[in-house]
Chain A
Amino acid sequence: MSVKAPRISVTVAEVVEVNPLIKRFRFVRSDGQPMPPFSGGAHIVVEMDDHGTRRLNPYSLMSVPEDSSGYSISVRRDDTGRGGSLYLHQQVKPGMAMEIGYPVNLFSLDQRAKKHLMIAGGIGITPFISQMAQLTSLGGRFELHYSVRNRELGAYVDELKALYGDRIHLYFDDEGDKIDLDRLLAGQSFGTHLYVCGPKGMISWVRSTADAAGWPKGTVHSEEFLAPPVGQPFTVELAQSKKSITVGATQSLLEAMEAANVDAPYLCRGGACGQCETDVVRCDGHIEHNDHWLSDEQKASNRKIMPCVSRFGGTTLVLDR
C-alpha cells in the first residue's frame, strides 16, 4: 500500500464508550456495498485529517470476519501519544465520512495448529476477538488468557465470558492475579500454537518463556504495533525524488515523505511488516532504528531504514526513494 493505494470510503455508524479509556468505532461503506472479507487478526489503517495533519494509524479489526456489513475497531486513548487516538476519541462522531485502507493480516491464525493458546494484555485483546469468532465458526480449539489492570478497565470481559465461558481466563492486576506462564505452557498438548498481543514487556516475557520451555519459533506468534516515537526534527534528502524534506518532532519520516507527495510504500505503519524498508544511500550520523523488522546486523550497517517508526540524528541522511 502507499499514499496512492485504493481506500474504502466509510461512514462512522457507531461510537461506543466501552470504558473510560476505550471507545469502539464501527465503519460501514458509504456506497452501501459489503466490506471486503478479512481473517481474524487483520488490521486496517484509519486515515484522519487532524486539523491539517494527516494521520494514518493501524487498528486491529475486532468484528466477526464473515460479517461484511461493517468493520469494528477499539481504540485506547493515549493522552501522551502523537494525537491519533485523541482525535478518534474527541473528534470522530457517528455520521462522519472517513477513509480506511483494505484489511491486512500480519497476525493470522496458523491453521496447522491443533489448538490455539492466546495471551492478551489490555487493548491487545482486539485481534483475538475476531480470531475467536473465526475459530468458533470453523470449529478450532482455543483458550484465552486475558490480563487487564482492573475490572473497570477490562474491556469486553463480560461479553467474552458470556460467549466463550471457561475458555476465557481473566487476570486482574490490581487483585494480584498473574498468569502462571510456566505452568500454562507446560500443560499444553503437542501441536498447540501460542499467540500474544499486548504491551512490549508482555510480548518479550511470553516469547522468552516459551523459548526456554522448548517451544519452536514457528509455533509462537506475536503482534505489536509501535506508535512512531516523537523526537528532534531532522532533514532527509530523497535521491530519486530529488527532494529535501524536514521531519517534524511529532511526525514520522514516512508521514513527512507522504506530505511531500513522495509515493512511499507501507502496510502496518508500526515497524512490524517490512513493507516500507528503504535503502540508505548515505548516512552521516545515527539512525534510531525503532522497528521489529530489520536484523541487528542490518541495523548496525545503517544501509536500511524503516521510515514508519525510525528517526535520524546527524548531518546527512540520503535515502533511495
Chain B
Amino acid sequence: MRSRPVYGELTPRPGSGHLFVADGEGAEAILDLFQKAGAQASSLLEKSHIIYMPGPNGTDFGARLEALGAAQYHRSPSFASAQSRLKKVLADAHMGLQIYLAGTEGLMGQAQRDVIEAGLPHEAVQTEHRGSTVRRVQCVHCKGITENVRTDPIKCSHCGLHLFVRDHYSRRLAAFQGVNIDAEDPGQVPAAVERFK
C-alpha cells in the first residue's frame, strides 16, 4: 500500500530551532536523540521546544522529558488541547526550524498535517513511531473520525456502520480509511480481531 506511512528514527539536524511533538512512548525517541547528540545536546536543548502529551494507552513519561531542560517544555492532556499552541509556534517560526515527531501514528499524522498546512513538504518532517499501534480511522461513508481504533472491523463511532480498517492512509485527513464491511451482505460481519494495540 503506497500511502501507508513509513517512519524513521529521529536524528539531530542543523537548524535555527528544534520543535518536538510527542505522545506516550514517543518521549523515549526524544530522550534517545539527545543521548545521540552527545556533546551537542546542551546547545541543542537551548533551542528546543517540546510539546508532549500522554499516549492513548496512558503512558506518561512527561517528567523524564521535562527533566531534559529544553528551552521550552509544554505538557498537554491531548493533541486537541496542544494543537493551538503548535499552530501558533509554526505561524511565528522562521525557516531553519527543524520538526521532530514521535509516538503514535495518530499524533504524528495530525502534527504533520499542521506542518504541511504551514507550507513544508511532508518529507521535511522527521518521524519515529513508538508505542501504541492504535489507529485514527475515517469512515468513508459518514466522514466521521474514530480515534484509538484497536480492532478490525470496528463500528463507526458516528454512523454505526461496521468498517474494515484499511492500510490506505490520507495525509490530508491524518487517518486510515474505514470501509463498510457488510455492504453487500448486511449483517454478515466477521468477528472483530484486535489488530492494533
Q: Do A and B come from one complex?
A: yes
* 8 Å CB interface, A283-311 against B: none
B94 touches A193 (CB 8 A): no
A219 touches B13 (CB 8 A): no
B144 in the interface (beta carbon within 8 A)? no
A215 touches B94 (CB 8 A): no
Chain B min CB distance to A135 (Å): 15
Q: Give Cα distance in the complex from A113 to B95, angstroms.
A: 12
Residue of B91, B96, B116 touching A213 (CB-CB under 8 A): B96
Give the size of the chain A interface in residues (CB under 8 angstroms): 23
Chain A residues contacting B96 (CB-CB under 8 Å) are: 185-186, 213-215
B151 in the interface (beta carbon within 8 A)? no
B97 touches A213 (CB 8 A): no
Residue of B97, B118, B124 touching A218 (CB-CB under 8 A): B124
Q: Give Cα distance in the complex from A212 to B14, angstroms.
A: 6
* 8 Å CB interface, A130-150 against B: none
A190 touches B124 (CB 8 A): no
- In the complex, residue of chain A having the shortest beta-carbon distance to the beta carbon of B124: A216
Residue of A187, A212, A216, A218 touching B94 (CB-CB under 8 A): A187
Chain B min CB distance to A214 (Å): 3
Chain A min CB distance to B44 (Å): 12
B8 in the interface (beta carbon within 8 A)? no
Interface centre among B15, B98, B120, by most chain A C-beta atoms within 10 angstroms, is B120
B121 touches A218 (CB 8 A): yes
A242 in the interface (beta carbon within 8 A)? no
A219 touches B121 (CB 8 A): yes
Interface string of A57-92 (1 = CB under 8 A from B): 000000000000000000000000000000000000
A189 in the interface (beta carbon within 8 A)? yes
* 8 Å CB interface, B6-46 against A: 13-16
B90 touches A213 (CB 8 A): no
Chain B residues contacting A212 (CB-CB under 8 Å) are: 14
- In the complex, residue of chain A having the shortest beta-carbon distance to the beta carbon of B91: A190
B185 in the interface (beta carbon within 8 A)? no
A112 touches B15 (CB 8 A): no
- In the complex, residue of chain B having the shortest beta-carbon distance to the beta carbon of A187: B94
B124 touches A112 (CB 8 A): no
B173 in the interface (beta carbon within 8 A)? no
- In the complex, residue of chain B having the shortest beta-carbon distance to the beta carbon of A114: B119
B119 touches A215 (CB 8 A): no
Residue of B91, B98, B116, B119 touching A214 (CB-CB under 8 A): B98
Chain B residues contacting A191 (CB-CB under 8 Å) are: 90, 95, 118-120
- In the complex, residue of chain B having the shortest beta-carbon distance to the beta carbon of A112: B119
- In the complex, residue of chain A having the shortest beta-carbon distance to the beta carbon of B92: A190
Q: Give Cα distance in the complex from A192 to B93, angstroms.
A: 11
Q: Give Cα distance in the complex from A65 to B36, angstroms.
A: 50
Interface centre among A190, A216, A217, by most chain B C-beta atoms within 10 angstroms, is A190
Q: Give Cα distance in the complex from A201 to B183, angstroms.
A: 61
B123 in the interface (beta carbon within 8 A)? yes
Residue of B95, B116, B119 touching A185 (CB-CB under 8 A): B95
B93 touches A190 (CB 8 A): yes
B98 touches A112 (CB 8 A): no
A232 in the interface (beta carbon within 8 A)? no
Chain B residues contacting A246 (CB-CB under 8 Å) are: none
Chain B residues contacting A194 (CB-CB under 8 Å) are: 95
Chain B min CB distance to A218 (Å): 4
Q: Give Cα distance in the complex from A166 to B118, angstroms.
A: 25
A188 in the interface (beta carbon within 8 A)? yes
- In the complex, residue of chain B having the shortest beta-carbon distance to the beta carbon of A113: B119
Chain A min CB distance to B37 (Å): 15
Chain A min CB distance to B129 (Å): 20
A216 touches B16 (CB 8 A): no
Chain A residues contacting B98 (CB-CB under 8 Å) are: 214
Q: Give Cα distance in the complex from A40 to B98, angstroms.
A: 30
Chain A residues contacting B15 (CB-CB under 8 Å) are: 213-214
Additional 17 contacts, C-beta under 8 A, given A190-B95, A214-B95: A110-B121, A112-B120, A113-B119, A115-B119, A186-B96, A187-B94, A190-B119, A191-B95, A191-B118, A191-B120, A192-B119, A194-B95, A214-B15, A214-B96, A214-B98, A216-B121, A218-B123
Q: Which 7 A-B residue pairs are closest in the complex by CB-CB distance?
A: A191-B119, A214-B15, A216-B124, A218-B121, A190-B93, A114-B119, A214-B96
A positions within 8 Å CB-CB of B: 110, 112-115, 185-194, 212-219
27 contacts between A and B (CB under 8 A): A112-B120, A114-B119, A115-B119, A185-B95, A186-B16, A186-B94, A188-B94, A188-B95, A189-B94, A190-B118, A190-B119, A191-B90, A191-B119, A192-B119, A194-B95, A213-B14, A213-B16, A213-B96, A214-B13, A214-B98, A215-B95, A216-B120, A216-B123, A217-B123, A218-B120, A219-B120, A219-B121
